[in-house]
Chains A and B, each alone.
Chain A
Amino acid sequence: MADEAAGPREPILEVRALVKHFPLTQGILFKRQVGAVKAVDDISFTLHRGETLGIVGESGCGKSTVAKLLMNLEQPTAGEILYKGEDISKLSGRALKAVRRNIQMVFQDPYTSLNPRMTVGDIIGEPFEIHPEAAPKGDRRRKVQELLDVVGLNPEYINRYPHQFSGGQRQRIGIARGLALNPEVIICDEPVSALDVSVQAQVINLMERLQNEYDLAYLFIAHDLSIVRHISDRVGVMYLGKLAEIGTDTEIYDHPTHPYTQALLSAVPQPDPEGRDTRERIILTGDVPSPANPPSGCRFRTRCWKAQDKCAEEVPLLAVPERFKDSDTGARHDSACHFAEDKDIVHA
């Protein structure tokens, strides 16, 4: 992890005002647009070299769409994705292929992210076939075996097929594939949520070790707040396509100022029965509204206990709230709430 005293290093990936709307169409022959699912709606953040930025949020908040946009698997409706200052969302062909070497992805489901008809050697070796300049032909088998070794798998398994491995082992194969091209950024979309508890820790440790060894930057997308805290240097909280709050792990977990973050933190069941009767719980009512028809103003207001008229009229900006501008506590970080308030949820 980056040396915290030295502050963040240079930005490697910058996301500016990113928007992704999926059109809703009607009609078979002549399609006309009747609306849009606002999966990602004006999101900006920066990922620095060697750091881990965690993105948390519940299903449908748009966090996986962010991953797809960064990987150029979807085209943004608006906004920019800058890799070392260059907008990669507009690239195509050879230029895009070159950028892809530096940004790789680890997928959530180890059972569907590996082609069942290819051997492990073919799967991990495929990056070299697509980018022949990355490794000379005669060297590839050795490289694949090295990668297997790096992720803690027996290099002799090179001719096995994915279904012969357990979930945790498959995820290691997926990580090896992501590492093959020596990338600088790895987008991790829920990389451990499909794994057994005792195997999750192995994979998390592996990812941390690889980050140190290869100076990787991770965008770590997950719904499990404890894992995100453990692995992240900074954390962004998403709700209905927008960032509600972003800051360092201490700022977000020890000084959450957005009510949604507070509710989220208080809802996490903690592996400690001692405090269970005294712990303050914020139980939200209702469900997440549809992203096709999000509430006006602040998107969280329909479930927020603090909501007032202003919240329906004015979209709160993601910035350091006025009242914390001069604060020297962790509350001084970006939060998109009109009535931001520092509240210690986790320790209370």
Chain B
Amino acid sequence: MPEARATIGKKEAVPSGGGAVPAAVAVDAGPAPGKPRSLWSDAWHDLRRKPSFVIPALIILLLLVVAAFPGWFTSVSPRAADLTNNYLREPELTHFFSPEWLGYNQQGQSIWARMLYGTRASIVIGVAVTVLVTVLGSLVGMLAGYFGGWVDALLSRVIDIFLGIPFLLGAMVILVSFDTRTEWTVTFALAFLGWTTVARVMRGSVISIKQSDYVAAARSLGAGTSRILLRHVLPNAMAPVIVVAMIALGGYITAEAVLSFLGIGLSEPSISWGGDINRAQGQIRIAEHILLYPSILLSITILSFLMLGDAVRDALDPKLR
């Protein structure tokens, strides 16, 4: 019966009760831990000294600025077509950042300006697909992993079905059914097909985390499902998902470029690297610069996201810690 206990109020007696404490156990005089450092701040501490993180991160930062404010970097409109700008003329590579420095395309549009404005489509699609995929995939993966049983069986079969669809082919089938395809059409098509990768990673990491002792500890304290999921499972399961998402982001940008190149991605008047590369291919022998510069930028962008994902994975990998 709780009568005696409640009145004793043991905990209140604690600080004064310390008198009888044997000296040996009173204070744990070990090396004092330094400043509070979460695992994320530890990872950040590591990352910011690594060139393999800093360089791609700076490139991506620059791309984000360009995507948001392409007008800051050029004075001409990407759609301004002046046929006096002959596309066969060699680029003026020394006229840095001027409209003509990377040459003109067949319509007499500045390739530099088109690359800048095309950034927006690539980045917006890449980021938006990643966000959608991460949210949807994490949700499905977490439910499947945490609840197990028939929930897991059902969701896992759904994941299997989606994994059976070839990514690009599936995207093509979806996109050809639309007449005009904006950034959002492409985003939804890619996200619809892409969430399964994240869901699988999430499911795996949730399964291992739900067996950990700290989850058992929370359960034995009487924590409810939502607390366990939000406070314990999700924060610990996110690290691998974030890494997968970062690496996948590069893949989505590629996918957009490929689809646009095939003519079923973004439709006019959207500007995209893939579309420009597509229109340049006929001239590859006489004016390779029309194809070359957008391709280089596309490659650098994808590589940056892949390197960033790799660096973050290394920093978060607990095995290396």
* Residues of chain A whose beta carbon lies under 8 Å from any beta carbon of chain B: 29, 68, 71-73, 84, 96-97, 100-101, 103-105, 107-109, 112-119, 126-127, 129-131, 143, 146, 149-150, 152-154, 157, 159-161, 163-166, 168-169, 172, 174, 177, 181-182, 184, 201-202, 205-206, 209, 213-215
* Cβ-defined partner of B222 (8 Å) among A96, A172, A202: A96
Chain B stretch 14-33: residues in CB contact (< 8 A) with chain A: 14-15, 17-18, 20-22, 24-28, 30-33
| B27–A209 CB distance below 8 A | no
State the Cβ distance, A311 to closest chain B Cβ, in Å: 37
| B28–A213 CB distance below 8 A | no
State the Cβ distance, B61 to closest chain A Cβ, in Å: 26
1/0 per position for B182-222, CB-CB distance to A under 8 A? 00000000000000000000000000000011101111111
* Cβ-defined partner of B221 (8 Å) among A100, A112, A150, A157: A100
State the Cβ distance, A25 to closest chain B Cβ, in Å: 12
Whether A118 contacts B15 in the complex (CB less than 8 A), given A130-B222, A157-B33, comes out as no
| Chain B residues with CB below 8 A from A68, complex form | 216
* Cβ-defined partner of A161 (8 Å) among B15, B38, B212: B38
* Cβ-defined partner of A112 (8 Å) among B40, B212, B227: B212
| B222–A205 CB distance below 8 A | no
| B28–A172 CB distance below 8 A | yes
Question: With the chains together, A318 CA to B5 CA distance in Å?
Answer: 34
In the complex, the chain A residue whose C-beta lies closest to that of B38 is A161
1/0 per position for B45-69, CB-CB distance to A under 8 A? 0000000000000000000000000
1/0 per position for B134-170, CB-CB distance to A under 8 A? 0000000000000000000100000000000000000
| A105–B236 CB distance below 8 A | no
| Chain A residues with CB below 8 A from B25, complex form | 152, 202, 205-206, 209
Chain B stretch 223-251: residues in CB contact (< 8 A) with chain A: 223-224, 227, 231-232, 235-236
| Chain A residues with CB below 8 A from B24, complex form | 201-202, 205
| B218–A126 CB distance below 8 A | yes
Of B10, B17, B24, B36, most buried by chain A (CB within 10 Å of CB) is B36
Could you pull out 27 A-B pairs where Cβ atoms are within 8 angstroms?
A: A71-B216, A73-B219, A73-B220, A104-B220, A104-B221, A108-B213, A116-B39, A117-B40, A126-B231, A130-B222, A130-B223, A131-B221, A146-B15, A149-B18, A150-B14, A152-B26, A154-B32, A160-B36, A166-B31, A172-B28, A182-B11, A202-B24, A205-B25, A209-B22, A213-B10, A213-B17, A214-B10
Interface residue B1 (Cβ < 8 Å from any Cβ of A): yes
| Chain A residues with CB below 8 A from B13, complex form | 213
Whether A109 contacts B5 in the complex (CB less than 8 A), given A73-B220, A205-B22, comes out as no
Question: With the chains together, A153 CA to B235 CA distance in Å?
Answer: 26
In the complex, the chain B residue whose C-beta lies closest to that of A172 is B28
| Chain B residues with CB below 8 A from A213, complex form | 10, 13-14, 17
Interface residue B269 (Cβ < 8 Å from any Cβ of A): no
| Chain A residues with CB below 8 A from B15, complex form | 146, 149
Question: With the chains together, A186 CA to B28 CA distance in Å?
Answer: 22
| B236–A116 CB distance below 8 A | yes
Interface range, B side: 35 or more
Question: With the chains together, A131 CA to B216 CA distance in Å?
Answer: 17
* Cβ-defined partner of B213 (8 Å) among A112, A146, A168: A112
| Chain B residues with CB below 8 A from A97, complex form | 222
* Cβ-defined partner of B27 (8 Å) among A107, A146, A154, A168: A154
| B214–A127 CB distance below 8 A | no
State the Cβ distance, A129 to closest chain B Cβ, in Å: 8
| Chain B residues with CB below 8 A from A114, complex form | 214, 217
* Cβ-defined partner of A184 (8 Å) among B5, B218, B221, B227: B5
* Residues of chain B whose beta carbon lies under 8 Å from any beta carbon of chain A: 1, 5, 10-11, 13-15, 17-18, 20-22, 24-28, 30-34, 36-40, 42, 153, 212-214, 216-224, 227, 231-232, 235-236, 321
| A160–B33 CB distance below 8 A | yes
Question: With the chains together, A336 CA to B174 CA distance in Å?
Answer: 71
State the Cβ distance, A302 to closest chain B Cβ, in Å: 31
State the Cβ distance, A27 to closest chain B Cβ, in Å: 12
| Chain B residues with CB below 8 A from A150, complex form | 14, 18
In the complex, the chain B residue whose C-beta lies closest to that of A104 is B220
> Given A117-B235, A117-B236, A130-B222, 20 other A-B contacts at CB below 8 A?
A73-B216, A108-B213, A109-B213, A115-B218, A116-B236, A118-B231, A126-B223, A129-B227, A130-B224, A131-B221, A143-B11, A146-B11, A149-B15, A152-B25, A152-B26, A159-B36, A161-B36, A177-B217, A184-B5, A201-B24
| A130–B227 CB distance below 8 A | yes
| A105–B21 CB distance below 8 A | no
| Chain A residues with CB below 8 A from B38, complex form | 117, 119, 161
| A126–B39 CB distance below 8 A | no
| Chain B residues with CB below 8 A from A131, complex form | 221-222
| Chain A residues with CB below 8 A from B26, complex form | 152
Question: With the chains together, A263 CA to B266 CA distance in Å?
Answer: 77
| Chain B residues with CB below 8 A from A169, complex form | 28, 30
Question: With the chains together, A137 CA to B30 CA distance in Å?
Answer: 31
| Chain B residues with CB below 8 A from A105, complex form | 216-217, 220
State the Cβ distance, A75 to closest chain B Cβ, in Å: 13
Going nearest first, the 6 A-B pairs with the smallest beta carbon separation are A164-B33, A113-B213, A97-B222, A100-B222, A159-B36, A117-B235
| Chain B residues with CB below 8 A from A201, complex form | 24
| Chain B residues with CB below 8 A from A202, complex form | 24-25, 28
| B22–A100 CB distance below 8 A | no
* Cβ-defined partner of B14 (8 Å) among A96, A146, A157: A146
Of B5, B15, B25, B27, most buried by chain A (CB within 10 Å of CB) is B25
